[in-house]
Structure 1
Amino acid sequence: MRDTTAEDLALARATERRQARSRWLAHAVLGLGVLVFAFPIWITLVGSTHDVNTIGRGDVPLWFGGEAVANYVSAWLTGGAQTRTTLGVPVWLMLWNSLNMAVLIAVGKIAISLLSAYAVVFFSFPGRMVCFWLIFITLMLPVEVRIIPTFEVMVNLQLTNSMAGLVIPLVASATATLLFRQFFLTIPDEYVEAAKIDGAGPLRFFKDVVLPLSVTNIAALFVILFIYGWNQYLWPLLIVSDKDLETVVVGMTKMIGSGDQQNEWNVIMATAVLAMLPPVAVVILMQRWFVKGLTETEK
């Protein structure tokens, strides 16, 4: 009896030690991953607080300097155009344009995807699945593949250099339609039957039943689609030449000069830090809804 108890205790302690080593190893790997991803951001943050000569020499310290206020004010108000021959675009304007574009893309994608998925799931009409598969096939045709005909359409509609031209080609989303369709298929048929008994029409059922059940999914998709819209580069670069509509992602690349022109890397780094703030704020503010939308399955 004593031998058996001692063996069980020894086995339990050995198991605890293995689990402790596994936890330490997992935390070490996670910590290393955080360092790898966070170190460039730290360098950017620190570089935005030093003068242009320090950054220009490649001598980037690991701690903050004393030029933070000047650098951020220069980026915010002028886009760092004081020492360049080209006219810079204020970062506040680029951030405003990017924010408008990202919000409109996210809201537009969600609205269209909700309605299209609702029609495919809850309405019976000839060619319903054909319509769904036609939507699904567009996943194989991203904007980069169809960019020339899309640009021609925008030119013919005279939507170049406009917010509508920035947003409309990016609004349709087969991915969001697919996700909402899969979610709607899990809604019990009893809900539909109860709505019919109560005399609720399609719009009322959509508003009173489907939308409340979809809140967490909408929130999760909003975060993903907002970041997608915020990070757009190729389409805004092609469709917009008006400085008043320039987005921050495109603007940062234009702040990097070519040839013998000296780059204001301190201002560019300050712009990069400012460009990270809105997406980070959206993720932090909607983190709880984002996680629930990705993990919650009960209706």
Structure 2
Amino acid sequence: MARDIHGMVEKRGVGLWLTHLLMILGVLVIFFPIWLAFVASTVSQPEIVRPPMPLWPGDQFFENYKAALLSGVNVPVATMLFNSLVMAVGIAVGKIVISLLSAFAIVYFRFPGRTFFFWMIFLTLMLPVEVRIVPTYEVVAGFGMLNSYSGLIFPLIASATATFLFRQFFLTIPDELAEAARVDGARPMRFFWDIVVPMSRTNVAALFVILFIYGWNQYLWPLLITTDPEMNTIVMGIKQMFPSGDDVADWPVIMATSILAMVPPVIVVVSMQKLFIRGLVDSEK
């Protein structure tokens, strides 16, 4: 018996070591390209194009990042970072607010066809972006929202996925809470703000992280509706930094811009990681 237990402990120890080894290898595989990009952002152009490429940071850090922040193809990178930040925050907040209200109405308000309307919202997930993008552009152009933050944000703030997730979570809230609030004379919106929203905090945090990154990485939609360089996002700016023809790309500045573009999403993930993980775990229960 003791020998069997000892063998199980040894097998578990070996399995644990293998698991950690695979995790470390996975981290290295993911981190190494990012490290190379950072190194490339701190060296000069000749050092990048002359093999072998250095694996340790150089002495051009401040020069390259200053050039990246204060210059760009058409506008400074700082302006494009601000545009992306406004767009990402606007999309994330807009999707969460609309999805919270939609899911609350579907779950707690008894009106004819509420199940039908929910599935109509959910079926929009089956429509590819290519089907919706032309009519959406026509609507945005008709309202005069081209080259504006409202044009970047409003067409992307509806989310069937977030509505579905909030609906599923609201269905797990005990009916006794709604009954108690009704007995106390609380109106529906009071119940929503005082009970439902605080209970949804971890789900909101998890969705905010996902939706912020979704908004930050948008490329096709901003490319279609922005002709003013002052409204370019950082993803568009990085693409425009690659020259056409036989011109040589300014790799240190491009890599510095790419590293700067990673900073806001990383800050959001790191600052909200506890709520993010808890929200993902709660959504699986």
TM-score band by shorter chain is over 0.9
Q: Which runs of 5+ in 1 are unaligned?
A: 1-7, 80-86
Deviation string 1:44-80 (CA, Å, 9 cap, x unpaired) is 011100111222345421111111110000001112x
Q: Aligned equivalents of 2:112 and 2:150: distance in 1?
A: 33
Report the CA distance between 1:239 and its aligned residue. Answer: 1.0
Q: How many residues align?
A: 285
1:50 alignment counterpart: 43
Q: CA RMSD in A?
A: 1.5
Calculate the TM-score normalised by the size of structure 2. Answer: 0.96
The letter for the 2-side match of 1:160 is L
Going from structure 1 to structure 2, the CA distance change for 1:77 and 1:297 (only over 3 Å counts) comes to: closer
Aligned to 1:106: 92
Using a 3 Å threshold, how does the CA distance of structure 1 residues 118 and 240 change in structure 2: closer, same or farther?
Answer: same
Query: Which runs of structure 2 are paired with 1:123-142 in the superposition (5 Å)?
Result: 123-142=109-128
Partner residue in 1 for 2:62: 69
1:30 to 23, 31, 35: 23
Cross-structure match for 1:82? none
For 1:272 and 1:205, locate their aligned partners in 2 and report how far apart those are by CA, in whole Å: 44
**CA–CA separation in structure 2 for the residues paired with 1:48 and 1:298:** 41
- 1:23-60 deviation per Cα after TM superposition (whole angstroms, max 9, x unaligned): 11111111111111111101001110011122234542
- Deviation, 1:298, is 11
- Once structures 1 and 2 are overlaid, which stretch shifts more, 20-29 or 276-285? 20-29
2:2 aligned with 1:9, yes or no?
Answer: yes
> Partner residue of 2:236?
250
Aligned position for 2:191: 205
Cross-structure match for 1:192:
178
Flag the structure with larger Rg: 1
In structure 2, which of residues 53, 58, 68 is the aligned counterpart of residue 60 of structure 1?
Answer: 53
After superposition, the C-alpha distances for 1:144-187 in whole angstroms (9 at most, x for unaligned) are: 43111111111111111111111111100000000000000011
Q: Spell out the pairing of 1:160-179 with structure 2 (5 A cutoff).
A: 160-179=146-165
Find out whether 1:40 has 2:33 as its counterpart. yes
User: Any unmatched runs of 5+ in structure 2?
Assistant: none
Distance 1:279 1:25, change over 3 A: same
Percent identity, please. Answer: 58
TM-score, reference length from structure 1: 0.92
Contact 1:52 1:265 in 2 (8 A): yes
Contact 2:203 2:283 in 1 (8 A): no
Between 1:141-150 and 1:94-103, the stretch displaced more is 141-150
Partner amino acid, structure 2, of 1:183:
F
